[in-house]
Chains A and B, each alone.
Chain A
Amino acid sequence: MLEKGGKMIRIATLLVIVACLTVIGCQPPEGMAGPTKEEFDALKMQVETLQTDVADMQAAMDSFIEQYNMHMDKYHKGGATVTKPTTPSGGVKPPTQK
């Protein structure tokens, strides 16, 4: 009976050791652990900031392109020109397009 109990203790001890080794073996190596919640939150905030920046840049580009197109339409495509308020060396009549 005593011998039988000693075997069970050995088996139990072995099981505990196996369990410990399993737990230890499943731990990720140092430096390979995933981000902490704080790190994840900080990263998420950075991504959101970048998304906002891109949206702002897109809006600025759209505005710039619109202004550029208006400028081109007004001053270059139709041949219209920017006149000065005074005409010191003779004037010009309105342009003719044909």
Chain B
Amino acid sequence: MKKLIGITLAVSALLIVIGCEGEGDGLEAPNVTYDVIDAGATLALEWDAVDGADGYYIYADGILIDSTTGTDYDATVPAGFYGVSAYAGEDESATDEVDCTPVETASITVYGNSDPDPDHPSGIGFASDGSCITLALSETTNHPLIDFYFDDANFVNLTIVSPGDHQPTPYNDEENTTAASGNDYDALEIAAEPGVGLYNTQRTLNNNAVLSFWIDPSPPNWGAVDDYFGKIKVVSITGTGPYMAVLNVAYQPIAGLRWVVTQ
């Protein structure tokens, strides 16, 4: 009886070892890191060599777009996800992905700063998760958080303004700007290029307009550390002053990257 139990245990152990053999010997997925270069237009992917790999497949939004035998790849076509897998012959590892999708906040309502209700928000900012939050200007603790405010007190039309432009006291020191980017929100896959005169700290809002935005806490040049980009769709503007506007906002959480693919 004891002999039978021993044989059974030995066979079981053998089966376990054989069954798990594949997992230990398969190709490991590359561990992808990235840098943002080319003024935010390019995501430079890099990874350590995977033992036994013949090369690496590059995926954009789950679609195989390229392969390389090197350990880096410059992604220049905006996408929501970029992925890299290792391959050896017919074998392929799992894919390591970089999430480049912007954080979208839909249907936020803001008011021009001539609105008499102190609780009506005339400012917007971005939370640590990238979502857009509205901020009342009457609350001074909100001032450091303001990335843009909406001014119809100093302008005939509702105007999006950088917090650093407010006088006599700026809400904060950021020099945030917007650029006109057509009318098609989803068609805008990369925010306007910085540093070529497209961005302005004050811009009149029009119905259905799409704007690129550039949050620049350390102006004036583009930076890959603390600059952030995104896009705004002006869904509607109502009123004749004070104005009320409804916006859709997409914020790219990767610092310096201008990709804003929302489809």
Interface residues of A (CB under 8 A from B): 75-84, 87-93, 95-98
Min C-beta distance of B202 to chain A, whole Å: 4
23 A-B pairs with C-beta separation under 8 A: A75-B204, A76-B180, A76-B204, A79-B178, A79-B204, A81-B157, A81-B202, A82-B156, A83-B155, A84-B153, A89-B114, A89-B154, A91-B154, A91-B167, A92-B161, A92-B165, A93-B165, A95-B201, A96-B162, A96-B177, A96-B219, A97-B197, A98-B175
* The residue from B114, B199, B204 contacting A82, defined by CB atoms under 8 A apart: B204
Residues in chain A near residue B219, CB distance under 8 A: 96, 98
Min C-beta distance of A30 to chain B, whole Å: 61
Q: Given the complex of chains A and B, what is the CA–CA distance between A53 and B214 in angstroms?
A: 49
Given A76-B180, A90-B167, A93-B167, is A83 in contact with B199 using a C-beta cutoff of 8 Å? no
Chain A contact residues: helix, strand, loop or mixed: loop
Residues in chain B near residue A88, CB distance under 8 A: 114, 153
Whether the pair B167, A98 counts as a contact (CB closer than 8 A) is no
Q: Given the complex of chains A and B, what is the CA–CA distance between A79 and B157 in angstroms?
A: 12
Closest residue of chain A to B153 (Cβ to Cβ) is A89
* The residue from B114, B167, B199, B203 contacting A92, defined by CB atoms under 8 A apart: B167
Given A76-B180, A98-B195, is A82 in contact with B155 using a C-beta cutoff of 8 Å? yes
- Among residues 132 to 167 in chain B, which have CB atoms less than 8 Å away from a CB atom of chain A? 151, 153-157, 159, 161-162, 165-167
Min C-beta distance of B262 to chain A, whole Å: 24
- Among residues 167 to 214 in chain B, which have CB atoms less than 8 Å away from a CB atom of chain A? 167-169, 175, 177-180, 194-195, 197, 199-204, 206
Chain B contact residues: helix, strand, loop or mixed: loop
Whether the pair A81, B159 counts as a contact (CB closer than 8 A) is yes
Whether the pair A79, B113 counts as a contact (CB closer than 8 A) is no
Residues in chain B near residue A84, CB distance under 8 A: 153-156
Residues in chain B near residue A98, CB distance under 8 A: 175, 177, 194-195, 197, 199-200, 219-220
Q: Given the complex of chains A and B, what is the CA–CA distance between A84 and B194 in angstroms?
A: 29
